[in-house]
A = this chain, B = another copy of it.
Amino acid sequence: MDLGKTGARVRACGPDGVREGEGPGVVGLAAADGVRQVMAALRGALEGLDVGRVDVLAMGLVGYHAASARREALAEALLTEHADVVLLTGDVTTTYVGAIGDRPGVVVAAGTGAVALGADATGRTVVRDGWGFLLGDDGSGYAVGRAGLRAALEHRDGRGGSAALERAATERFGELVGLPAAVHSAAHPSQLIASFATDVARAAQDGDEVARQIWADAAAALARTARACREALDPGLPVCLAGGLAQVGALLAQPFAAAVGGEVLRAAGTSLDGAEALARQAWSGAVSPVVADQVSVVRACGSGLEGAVAEEGGADGLGVPWPRRVGKGRR
Count of chain A residues with Cβ under 8 Å from any Cβ of B? 41
Given A128-B157, A135-B179, A159-B228, answer yes or no on A184-B149 (Cβ-Cβ < 8 Å): no
Q: Which residues in B have their C-beta under 8 angstroms from that of A189?
A: 134
A131 touches B159 (CB 8 A): no
Cα A25 to Cα B17 in complex, Å, equals 56
B180 touches A134 (CB 8 A): yes
Q: Does A327 sit within 8 A of B, measured CB to CB?
A: no
- Which residues 102-119 of A sit at the B interface, judged by CB distance below 8 A? none
Q: Could you say which of A129, A185, A331 has the most chain B C-beta atoms within 10 Å of its C-beta?
A: A185
A193 touches B134 (CB 8 A): yes
Q: Pick the contact of A181 from B30, B146, B177 — CB < 8 Å? A: B30
Given A158-B232, A159-B225, A177-B331, answer yes or no on A184-B65 (Cβ-Cβ < 8 Å): no
Q: Does A67 sit within 8 A of B, measured CB to CB?
A: yes
Q: Give me the 6 closest cross-chain CB pairs, A-B, nearest first.
A: A30-B181, A32-B185, A132-B180, A159-B228, A66-B180, A66-B181
Q: Could you say which of A153, A177, A181, A224 has the most chain B C-beta atoms within 10 Å of its C-beta?
A: A181
Q: List 5 A-B contacts (CB under 8 A).
A: A128-B159, A136-B150, A157-B228, A159-B224, A159-B225
Q: Which residues in B have their C-beta under 8 angstroms from that of A66?
A: 177-181
A136 touches B153 (CB 8 A): yes
Q: Could you say which of A63, A66, A228, A232 has the most chain B C-beta atoms within 10 Å of its C-beta?
A: A66
Q: Does A27 sit within 8 A of B, measured CB to CB?
A: yes
A135 touches B158 (CB 8 A): no
Q: Does A28 sit within 8 A of B, measured CB to CB?
A: yes
